[in-house]
Amino acid sequence: GTIKATELSKLGVTMYDPGYMNTASATSRICYIDGDKGILTYRGYPIEQLAESSNFLEVAFLLINGSLPSKPQYDTWKKHIMTHTFIHENLISLMQNFRYDAHPMGMLVSSMAALATFYPEANPALRGEGVYKQKLLRNKQIYRIIGKITTIAACAYRHRIGRPYNQPSDQLDFTANFLYMLDHLSEKSFTPHPKLVHALDVLFILHADHEMNCSTAAVRHVASAGTDPYTAIAAAASALYGPLHGGANEAVLHMLEDIGTVDRIPQFIQDVKDRKKKLMGFGHRVYKNYDPRAKIISRVAYEVFDVVGREPLIEVATALEQIALKDEYFVSRKLYPNVDFYSGLIYKAMGFPTDMFPVLFAIPRTVGWLAHWLELQDDPELRIVRPKQVYSGHQTRDYVPMASRE
């Protein structure tokens, strides 16, 4: 059941809930998870069906607008987004001035925040204008943000490897254009391999939303103050930058590298049982069953290996998964592989450096953040987010002049 916190406060009761383990901060119609059954749906559509039959831009339309697009709707949507992939020359200059070794996620966070200064109409007008103009304005920011996020990500990557930035191509699809701008995974120059494009597109679908996770809660928190979407999304990306949120796939990779070979798995499992180590990529706060995204992602891994060659650590990963799934320690605690168990291996096999992993998460999750940002604009129950605290500091005391302090 659900109790309204306002009812509790009428009784003089305050919920103390660090980490919001049992506090719902909004009603939402975007994403549903049943962690016991291992179900994930976007707007009611199972993630398996979307990964199998849809593409990332269609899923983006679905998450943001609530229904699947007709063909003309899809074509218009795609055209709007792809024409907004170009970024202002001054933003390029700004990005060029980061240190040569700047973390690409730091560049993404700052560049997204900087975009707010390029589009000042995005702030008060989104609330104050009539419904028609408001809708146009909101849509425009959505096209811009989805369009520009891949360009910013690609520029951050190019900066990191010390190469000039590439212009987007609005003749390509969304994900193909991203790989095109990176220009490092091509079969021949400037031609991203269609199988890699498809694999990354599926990964983007799987990461597009996951209801009230840390970064989505952040975008809602900041936007509740009426902040523009660029700044609010920069805040969400900042949350994703944290290793506990966007960095788990990198930790999986390091774990697999440490284990190294299949014969060393039993010793590793023993270390986990002795609580010396953690099996990274296993377990989830919400899923107490197989993370449905992990099942899809393991298939994608093999599609990628068909093109770029087998990543040797996959043997360790699959053997580790099989052993853990049969082991009483993991079975009794309902610990199953989560989405991060395979995603890092795929990114590595595709040639991405590890510091690009959170960026590859941020690109699709931007769509989820925008869907939540849009939803809250019209939420009649929206209030500025302002949690309570339980004060545990000093009682009131008198100021002591410095000369008289002990």
Tell me: does residue 278 bind ligand ACO (CB under 6 A): yes
User: 56 and 174 in contact (C-beta within 8 Å)?
Assistant: yes
DSSP letter for each residue of 181-247: HH-SSEEETTEE-HHHHHHHHHHHHHHS--SS-HHHHHHHHHHTTT--HHHHHHHHHHHHHSTTTT-
User: 254 and 244 in contact (C-beta within 8 Å)?
Assistant: no
CA angle 308, 172, 342 (to 5 degrees): 35
What string marks each residue from 226 to 255 as x (binds ligand ACO by CB under 6 A) or -?
-------------------x--x-------
Nearer to ligand ACO (CB atom), residue 60 or residue 339: 339
Nearer to ligand ACO (CB atom), residue 185 or residue 319: 319
Question: Which listed residue (159, 284, 291, 372) is catalytic?
Answer: 284
Cα(48)–Cα(94) distance, rounded to whole angstroms?
Answer: 40
Residue in 58, 311, 340, 375 binding ligand ACO, rule: CB under 6 A: 340
Contacts with 401 (C-beta within 8 Å, 6 or more apart), sequence order: none
Burial class (CB in 10 A: 0-12, 13-18, 19+), 214: middle
Tell me: does residue 284 bind ligand ACO (CB under 6 A): yes
Tell me: does residue 294 bind ligand ACO (CB under 6 A): no
Tell me: does residue 79 bind ligand ACO (CB under 6 A): no
- Annotation marks residue 210 as catalytic: no
Cα(137)–Cα(148) distance, rounded to whole angstroms?
Answer: 16
Encoded tokens for 73: 């709707």
Q: Report the site for ligand ACO in 98-117 (rule: CB under 6 A).
A: none
- Using the contact rule CB under 6 A, the part of the chain among 55-63, 335-343, 348-356, 386-394 near ligand ACO is 335-343
Q: Which residue is nearest to ligand ACO (CB)?
A: 283
Tell me: does residue 29 bind ligand ACO (CB under 6 A): no
- Using the contact rule CB under 6 A, the part of the chain among 33-41, 109-117, 186-194, 330-338 near ligand ACO is 330-338
Q: How many Cα atoms are found within 13 Å in the side-chain-facing hemisphere of 124?
A: 1
- Annotation marks residue 284 as catalytic: yes
Q: How far is the CB of 80 from ligand ACO (least distance, A)?
A: 30
Tell me: does residue 281 bind ligand ACO (CB under 6 A): yes
Cα(344)–Cα(249) distance, rounded to whole angstroms?
Answer: 5
Question: Which sequence positions are flagged as catalytic?
Answer: 245, 284, 340
- The residue ranges that bind ligand ACO (CB under 6 A) are 245, 248, 272, 278-285, 333, 335, 338-340
